[in-house]
Structure 1
Amino acid sequence: MGTPLGDFVRARRDSIQPQALGLPERGRRRSPGLRRLDLATRAGISVEYLTRIEQGRDRNPSVAVLNALADALSLDMAEREHLRYLAKITGGACTAHARPEPPRREVRPSVLATLRLLEPGIALVTNRLGDVLARTAAFEAVTAGSGLLDADAPNLTRYVFTDPRARAFFADWNDVADERAFDLWLGPAAANAEWLSEQIAPVAGPEFTRRLHRHQVPHRGTLRLHHPSGGELRLLRETLELTADAQQLLVLLPADEETAKAVDRLRSGPHGRLRAIS
């Protein structure tokens, strides 16, 4: 049985063409990407050891080995951080398996007070699973009619993968889907992520599972929304990590004058007050 660390190393190896690293083409292969031999040579480890890592039979590679693999795979800073994170959770996988369970949904009063100060801006509090725990009235206005907030306990990840309206609402749905799948690996806890994955996988099918195990580190560019009222909104994202709570405060800012005017029009319509969901 594989591990998140092994899956990530194998996925990155498969994504690299030998020519990109100045390696000779060794003829046709059944699988794409870099050969284990080539990666092991570049990292200074044996093919047998690399195979054990990829197959999940070695769960505790040293920091030196992780750095060597990162160099050999030409990982950027975000990918290196993800490699170290996966090594951490993979190394702890031999401990007693936690029962899958939903995460806590409480938002601290001081965080809610901060969110109120951001009105009339577009902001929300969420966790890495995508639970929308609190939001400003402007966020409600911008997402009105999309179906995102229809559920009693809205969840961005569930919406993206199970609601057909999400593909129309998010102009770059594929990028957003990669983000949502990737963030499941980051918390709040492995048991929480497994709980949500077990709920989504039967409904979303291979589309979700493939993205989850591909470990595609997202770049999180401008968020483009096709609002049901017509027109496109282009929003910049600023994120404040609430590390102690395993939550995030996300602020969405108009990326251009046209979007700013459209947001003003949406905010002028009827909408509710700040809502916290617990």
Structure 2
Amino acid sequence: MSGGTPLGEFLRARREALKPQDVGLPDSGRRRTPGLRREEVAMLAGVSADYYMRLEQGRENSPSPQVLDAVAQALKLDGEATGHLRRLARTPLRRTAPSDNGQVSPQLLQLMDSWPHTPAFVVGPALDVLAANATAMALHDCFQRFDNLARMVFLDPAGRGFYQDWERAAQSCVAEIRAAFGHDPESPRISKVVETLSSRSSEFAELWSRHDVKSKTAEVKNLKHPQVGDLEITFSAFTVNGAPHQQLVVYQAEPASRTAAAFAVLRSMRQEPAAVGHEAP
């Protein structure tokens, strides 16, 4: 995806995203490059400028946990970004896990199909949709394909209308792929999705260059379906036991709400098996 090391690219992006005043340093005026200087990060982390430069250039392969914590504090990283930093620092010393083959267990397919009024689907590390129940498929039927969430957000014309806060959805997609990349930087599928989307969407490319990291957890989303209108859902994501590279995503509505009634309508619109395929973006 670029010529640098994943660790060096991450450190550089996070350094360039900070201003001197963000870390309590005086603003000495206009700078030739954005963000903090390497020397400033080194000083804040309590390491030599040469050592920090080696980290960014990929010439230091075994930083201690104490050094990583000091660098994370200097760069104002949150807990998730700090975990991402540690994984990237370990990358040269470990073999990556086997790539996901996209197979979803029959038991999980049966479980999703048993939720008639709750959209549920399974995604892989690159946000490929590996399986979905009928309600989830009906919910996303305004898209050309229900195949990859990032492609749907950035390349499908329906995305900007479906996601009422499109910018938030776009940022989340990129940050989630970046988090997955930290677990498996050598994943050919993640690389392919990132390269394709970067070449076809300048917005994706800009967000990817920021190195923001955020895994799927739980939050409220506001959607707009062309047939049933505005929807307010709470989504939760769960790691699948036996397939940690997969996540089960569940959309829920408040009982007796307008969104709950809309889910019932969507379910009646479409009856299909849970398994779906995905295509490359």
TM-score by length of 1: 0.84
1:129–1:180: 8 Å Cα contact kept in structure 2? no
One of 225, 228, 235 as aligned partner of 2:226: 228
Q: Secondary structure at the match of 1:200?
A: helix
Could you tell me the percent identity over the aligned residues?
35
Q: For residue 199 of structure 2, what is the aligned residue in structure 1?
A: 202
Work out whether residues 20 and 36 of structure 2, in 8 Å CA contact, stay in contact via their aligned partners in 1.
yes
Per-residue CA distance 1:154-209 (angstroms, 9 max, x = gap): 121222222222122212222222222233341584222113233333333x3323
Q: Aligned in 2, Cα 1:110/1:263: closer, same or farther, shift over 3 Å? A: closer
Aligned partner of 1:39 in structure 2 is 41
- Compare 55-64 and 255-264 and name the one that shifted more: 255-264
Q: Does 1:276 align with 2:261?
A: no
- The answer as to whether partners of 1:135 and 1:276 remain within 8 angstroms in 2 is yes
1:85 is displaced (CA, Å) by 2.2
Q: Distance in 2 between matches of 1:230 and 1:121?
A: 15
Q: Aligned runs of 1:54-133 on 2, under 5 Å? A: 54-89=56-91, 91-92=92-93, 103-133=100-130
Structure 1 residue 155 and structure 2 residue 152: aligned? no
Deviation larger for 215-224 or 8-17: 215-224
Query: Quick one: structure 1 residues 57 and 171, their matched pair in 2 at CA, closer, same or farther if it must change by over 3 Å?
Result: farther
| Residues 20 and 203 (structure 1), Cα distance of their counterparts in 2 relative to 1, 3 Å cut | closer
5+ residue gaps, structure 1: none
Deviation at 1:19, TM superposition (A): 1.7
Tell me what 1:52 maps to. Answer: 54
Look up the match of 1:179. 172
Cα 1:179–1:32 shift into 2, 3 Å: same
Amino acid at match of 1:166: G
What amino acid is the match of 1:51?
Answer: M
SS at structure 1 position matched to 2:269? coil
SS at match of 1:275: coil
Task: Give the Cα–Cα distance (whole angstroms) in 2 for the partners of residues 266 and 60 of structure 1.
Answer: 53
Is this contact kept in 2: 1:70–1:80, CA < 8 A? yes
Q: Is the 8 A contact 1:43 1:72 kept in 2?
A: yes
2:30 corresponds to:
28
Question: 1:72 Cα shift?
Answer: 1.4
Deviation at 1:127, TM superposition (A): 0.8
Q: 1:216 corresponds to which residue?
A: 212
TM-score under structure 2 length normalisation: 0.83
**Structure 2 CA distance for aligned equivalents of residues 193 and 244 of structure 1:** 21
Instruction: Give the aligned partner of residue 253 of structure 1.
Output: 252
CA–CA distance in 2 between the matches of 1:262 and 1:228? 12
1:114-168 CA deviation, whole Å, 9 max, x = no partner?
Answer: 222333311101112111111111112222223342xxxx121222222222122
Unaligned residue ranges in structure 2 (runs of 5+): none
The AA in structure 1 aligned to 2:63 is P
Quote the Cα distance in structure 1 between the aligned partners of 2:155 and 2:93: 31
Q: Identify which of 18, 30, 39 aligns with 2:20.
A: 18
Q: Which residue of 2 aligns with 1:167?
A: 160
Count of aligned pairs between the two proteins: 267
1:146 to 125, 143, 146: 143
CA distance in 1, matches of 2:79, 2:206: 23
Choose from 131, 134, 148 the match for 1:134: 131
> Which amino acid letter does the alignment assign opposite residue 161 of structure 1?
F
Deviation at residue 60 of structure 1 after TM alignment: 3.1
